[in-house]
Structure 1
């Protein structure tokens, strides 16, 4: 499998990269700073911005074989890890990146998309415990969750448009909504469905587990 990965230098994205390479998949990573990744067999590094159409297309065309799957592991950045810390990312970074990527996927005939979203986005919000839900909705974290919500709406809208316009061609998309992320060891991910019912109080999952799930899921067609 050949993966186009956006967000490869982030804490989860870097583990997705490592997991994919360990399974002998080829990866093209579109990153802003080339020095933030070390060249390694199976990895093609392209420097650019995920919100720049030309940069996204350059990454897609970087190798003779087009990507089979696009994985987007971008995240809104804050000054610190505190949920009350000021956001430093553009307000629509993830949405604008998805707009560029989905346009390019349509142009080059790439159908498989996996996006890292978050538990608490969309119809999973009511199943987050109320203290955490208050934080997601009323702290600076709401900045990122607004972007996540817009991304999910865009992906679904685009999938519907493909079905209507491309006559049978369809976008095979998976929105991954992990619970609170930690740096624990790799374990098999527990699947709770799109709404996350039964997640429990302050549910969490390791980034390594999410990375392994994403890479495994990348070779499987799915709409969930």
Structure 2
């Protein structure tokens, strides 16, 4: 497959990139700093900005699917980029997208009518990132794309355990953390297997 990956120099995105290349996929990435990436025969690197629609058009040229591991960076870069990605995917008839979100946009167990970041279930003091991811969730819901949002909780840099637990639309009970390795592995598997189209998926790593 030929995959477009956004956020390839980030903690989760870098691990997703490694998995894609290890499994012989062709990957096109859009990054501001290409020097952060090691050359690979299956890797096409485009220097640019995820806020710029023409840069995203180049990245999505002739791809089969999309993964976004973009961070919010406490700005609107995430929502700006996703708006462009959605528009171009629809124009080019690309159906599949997996994004990395946050556990804050999963449904609350204590207040089912709310998302976790809106409820007493969340311990986060700042809601800036969650609000951006919430906007992405709302945008994707309005499309006919085959979307899945992977929603880790506290996200330390850590190895793949392959013993993670998932739950559709809610955070698994007892979730404390989700390693970057497990988040990347599940995102890769979901892109390949498409088991949770149209859902947010909570994920937790074993303690």
Give the TM-score normalised by the residue count of structure 2: 0.85
**Aligned counterpart in structure 2 of residue 186 of structure 1, from 160, 172, 181:** 160
Long gaps (5+) in structure 2: 200-207
- Larger Rg, first or second structure (1 or 2): 1
More strand by share: 2
C-alpha change, 1:125 and 1:107, in structure 2 (3 Å) is farther
- Counterpart Cα distance in 2 of 1:95 and 1:120: 16
How do 1:31-70 residues align onto structure 2 when only pairs under 5 Å count?
31-61=31-61, 66-70=62-66
How many residue pairs get aligned? The number is 191
- Matches of residues 2-41 of structure 1 in structure 2 within 5 Å? 2-41=2-41
- C-alpha RMSD of the superposition: 2.1
> Which residue among 98, 113, 121 is the counterpart of 2:82?
98
Q: TM-score, normalised by structure 1?
A: 0.79
Unaligned stretches of 5+ residues in structure 1? 78-86, 160-170
CA–CA separation in structure 1 for the residues paired with 2:27 and 2:109: 33
Higher helix proportion (structure 1 or 2): 1
Instruction: Name the structure 1 match of 2:202.
Output: none
Matched, 1:196 2:171: yes
Deviates more, 1:92-101 or 1:178-187: 178-187
